[in-house]
Amino acid sequence: AKSIEALASADTFVFDKTGTLTHGSLSVVKVHSFKKEFSEAQLLNLTASAEEHYFHPVAEAIVKAAREIGFHHIHHDEVEFIVAHGVKTYVGGKEVVIGSRHFLEDDEQISFSKHEEIIKSEVDSGLTLLYVGYDKELLGVIAMRDTMRENAAQTLAKLRKLGVKELIMLTGDVQSKADQVASELGIDRVYANCLPTDKAGIIEQLKAEGKKVAFIGDGINDAPSLTKAHVGISMQKGADIAKATADISLLKDDIGSVAVAKDIANKTMRLINTNFNATVGINSLILAGATFGLFNPIATAVLHNGTTIGLLANSMKGVKIGAK
């Protein structure tokens, strides 16, 4: 009941981009190796070897691409999974780190300066990049493409009609790419270059502004934001921890279900408020009539019970949901 009430009152919807506004089903389109001794196939095999036991869209895309070219497993030490950053292991005594630019450049102190031109070109093309470091040097990058959900713009437009005042997107993309996506979808505000640890803070900031916040996410690092929002909504293919911490879990892998849920919540609360106001109003009139002698005790009892039965019947018919 609290979730329905919170969703009905939510006036600000915050979306994590990948896996919510996009399908979250990545595909490898380019592999760049920056070392002559590593071919593109070897770079892909190395990355897939470290990532193959992790059920994440990026890892799944890498392993799928490696298998398509004949996956050859490269022996490595135990893999350390660093939440919201990437993975780390050792191959032949040399450290291998795989993950975001922030992870490699800021945390692992790996220089990107020699390859900025290639990286910028791929980012400007709208591709998602996975960075691979080997022995404290940038070994290569793997470029992947994610596709926007076909009904994303339609869903956001419907949310506006349902009373949502502001639509916000959180993404780790660079500002230019994020602004382009926001323009295509009609999003009001975008937070680009967003680190996983930033999301919960942004939710808190919006709440401090007096907004009623709904957050939609699917990843492990979305769990704190799903908890902090007034109402958290997890996608059907989301991580288990995201589903466990969300107030509402979608049963279909369809962003349109968010608008359907909002519509249900709005109509449910409208029905509840209508019935409550009718109960107070009608019973007040019956009580006033009985007080001034307009109704005898039997008539008063019949009217009171009739009102209760009528409002109960009105509640039982439920709400009608329009076509998506």
The residues near 167 (Cβ < 8 Å, ≥ 6 apart) are: 12, 13, 15, 156, 159, 160, 185, 186, 187, 188, 189
Those residues whose C-beta lies under 8 Å from the C-beta of residue 303, and which sit 6 or more positions away, are 286, 295
Strands 166-170 vs 189-191: parallel, antiparallel or unpaired: parallel
User: DSSP for 150-209?
Assistant: TTHHHHHHHHHHTT--EEEEE-SS-HHHHHHHHHHHT-SEEE-S--TTHHHHHHHHHHHT
Catalytic site residue 263?
no
Q: Please identify which of the residues 16, 146, 218, 263 carries the catalytic annotation.
A: 16
Of residues 218, 251, 253, the one with CA closest to residue 232:
218
Catalytic positions are: 16
